[in-house]
Every structure is written in structure tokens, then in C-alpha cells.
Amino acid sequence: MDHSLTQAQAFWVTAPNQGRILAETLPSLAPDWVQVRAHFSGISRGTEGIVYRGEVPASEYQRMRAPFQQGDFPAPVKYGYSSVGVVEQGPAAWIGREVYCLYPHQTRYQVPASALYPVPEALPPRRVLLAANLETAINGLWDVLPRIGDRIHVVGGGTLGCLVAWLAGRIPGCTVQLIDTNPHRAAVAAALGVDFCSPAAATPDADRVIHASGTQAGLSTALGLAGFEATVLELSWFGDQAVTLPLGQAFHQRRLTLRSSQVGTIASDQRTRWDYRRRMTLALALLNNDALDVLITGEDPFSALPQVQARLAESPGDTLLHCIRYDEPFDTDETRDV
């Protein structure tokens, strides 16, 4: 047996605001499992920033576990959920196939074959990294129940907000505004075929407002833009941050609904017919659109991941989805940290 196939490296959050690449040895492959050699993984900078900074609230330690997470919050923990690679061991039908898996940042890993999603041939592997965020966007729109012709505002132009706006913009007759304080998001919105504006310039009286900025100011903006008896959907995750809202203003007079959405549970109206696999398969199919490449804004080698995570957690700048590539030789006995 080629012993190099049993060696792997993985990124761990070893303490709040500290990360290391650690070596590990993979066990013998279990029946009906596969071994994947990673090509790319994606950093979901909002959630992963909260994990990196140690801001997961204690009440959510179990509910916020990612698939195949190792360790426990706050640390040490191996966390992440967007990986693309090729199957190098396992059932013959899977060998050599490009696959997507909800797995942390790791050079090679083992999972049940049932956890894999074949990458459609037409999709560039880097774009597939958007699948987890797009799945969340799909679930959010299911929760907010948009209707043909609605005025839909999306507050927060991160990866998730951009994907929600893009999906909403494909509903016939809907007018979609992507709202963000960063003027550089205007070019992204244009590429996705939706309008962009600052919070101050946003049109009031929206039928549906989706909040995805992860900030208290953004959620206050979302409430202020909602029309009479409109729904404001909260897609952000604030971690352990407390949020103060202006509910003493027009919230009651306008009979607003503030609703949460979270990808871990399928939206109630879809739950009797949809499961996680069907939802993810839909997300992968919807990624067959070149316009979405605008959401991949950076790339680094796996060896730089500790520094990249630290930088994005502190100051993400204009970053949307950041890609990590696995195309370099690794010293499996080496650890790297920051």
C-alpha cells in the first residue's frame, strides 16, 4: 500500500484567534466509504470568522456543529463545510470522480460515499464551493415566501446576501435591491443582474426584506425598509453578540414580522417533500451560471490557511468567497500556525 495515501493535513482552530495546520494519519478505509484528495475548499468568512474568534455561544455548541467537524467549540476544533476533490479510494463506481463534500479544510479525508455529491461536468470546481452558501440562500427564500412582482430588498452584500439577491432577481416581476455600505458591491450586483444602493438611498416599503449583513445596523436598516405587514427575514448569524433593535419606532404600527431562517432545518413549507440531498442537488444545478464567478474574490494555497483565516477574521475587506487550493507538496510531519 502507498503509505502517502494515509497521510493528511488539516486546519484546526486551536484557540480563539489561533489556527494551525496539523498532520494526521488516516485509518484503513471502511466498507462503503471513500477517500477524497482535496482540490479546493472555500472559506465561509462570516461563520468561520465567528468560529475562529471563539464567538460561538455555549448554548449553540451542539446545534452549530458542521458535518464531519472534529473537536468541540470553542477550541480545539476542525471546522469548515465546502470541499471539492477527487475520489482516490473506495467503491469502483466512485474512483476518479470529482466530488463535493461538506467537509473541513483538509488535504485528504474519508467519508461515507453517501456524503458525496458528484460535481456536474459543466461546473468549474471553484464555483462549486458556493454550493453551501447557495443552499442557505435557497432555504432563506423558501422561508420568506416571495411572490411574483414583489419588491425585495437584501441588506448585506456578502456571499450569502449576493446569492439571495441573485436568486430573487430570477423571480418574474420582482424588483431586487442589494443594499450595502461598501460601494464596491455595486459592480458585483451589476454582474448578478440586480440593483445596488447604499442604505440611505434604498427605496422604502419593500414587500420582503432579507437581512444578511451580520450587523446590528444592518438589521435596523432592514426593519426600517419594510412596508406595512411585510416580513423581515434574518439570515445572519450573530454568534454571541447581543443585538439591540428599534422596536419602539414603527415596528408595531406597521405590523412587521421578523422571522429567522437557518439552513440546518429545511423550511417548513418544503419539509414534507424535500430532504437535504434534494436541496443540495438543486443548489449544484443552479450554479451552472458564469455570472456567479464574481463571488469568488481570492485564492491562496493551503499552506497559507492559518494566515488567511486570521486576516479574514480580523479585516475581511472586499472578500466574498475565498478559495483555498491544494496543489502543492506537503510535508506531512510539519505543522504551521499563526
Indicate the pTM of the whole model. 0.94
Q: Is the pLDDT of residue 336 over 60?
A: no
> In angstroms, rounded to a whole number, what is the distance separating the alpha carbons of residues 124 and 129?
9
Write down the pLDDT at residue 330: 53
- State the pLDDT at residue 5: 87
Closest to 40 (Cα-Cα) out of 329, 334, 322: 322
Show the cell assigned to 227: 412596508
Per-residue confidence (pLDDT) for residue 4, from 0 to 100: 75
pLDDT tens digits, one per residue of 187-196 = 999 999 999 9
Q: 3-130+287-337 — its CATH code? A: 3.90.180.10
Q: Is there a common fold for 3-130+287-337 and 143-260? A: no
Q: What DSSP string runs through 39-62?
A: EEEEE-HHHHHHHHTT---GGGTT
* Mean pLDDT computed over 272-286: 97
- Whether pLDDT at 141 is above 60: yes
Q: Whose CA is closest to 1, among 29, 38, 22, 32?
A: 29
**What pLDDT shows up at residue 20?**
98
Sign of the CA dihedral 73, 74, 78, 84?
positive
Q: How confident is the model at residue 111 (pLDDT cuts 50, 70, 90)?
A: very high
pLDDT of residue 333: 46
- Look at residue 331 and tell me whether its pLDDT is greater than 60: no
pLDDT score of 328: 65
The pLDDT score that the predictor gives to residue 249 is 86
What is the grid cell recorded at 263? 439552513
**From 1.10.1200.10, 2.20.140.10, 3.20.20.150, 3.40.50.720, which CATH number describes the 143-260 domain?**
3.40.50.720
- Count other C-beta atoms under 10 Å from residue 211's C-beta: 28
Give pLDDT tens digits for 46-98: 899 999 999 999 999 999 999 999 999 999 999 999 999 999 999 999 999 99
Neighbours of 184 (CB within 10 A): 12
Tell me what the pLDDT averaged over the chain comes to: 95
Domain ranges in the chain are: 3-130+287-337, 143-260
Per-residue pLDDT at 332: 45
Please state, in angstroms and rounded to a whole number, the distance separating the CA atoms of residues 226 and 220: 10
C-alpha cell belonging to residue 87:
475520489
Query: ∠24-29-30 over CA atoms, to 5°?
Result: 125
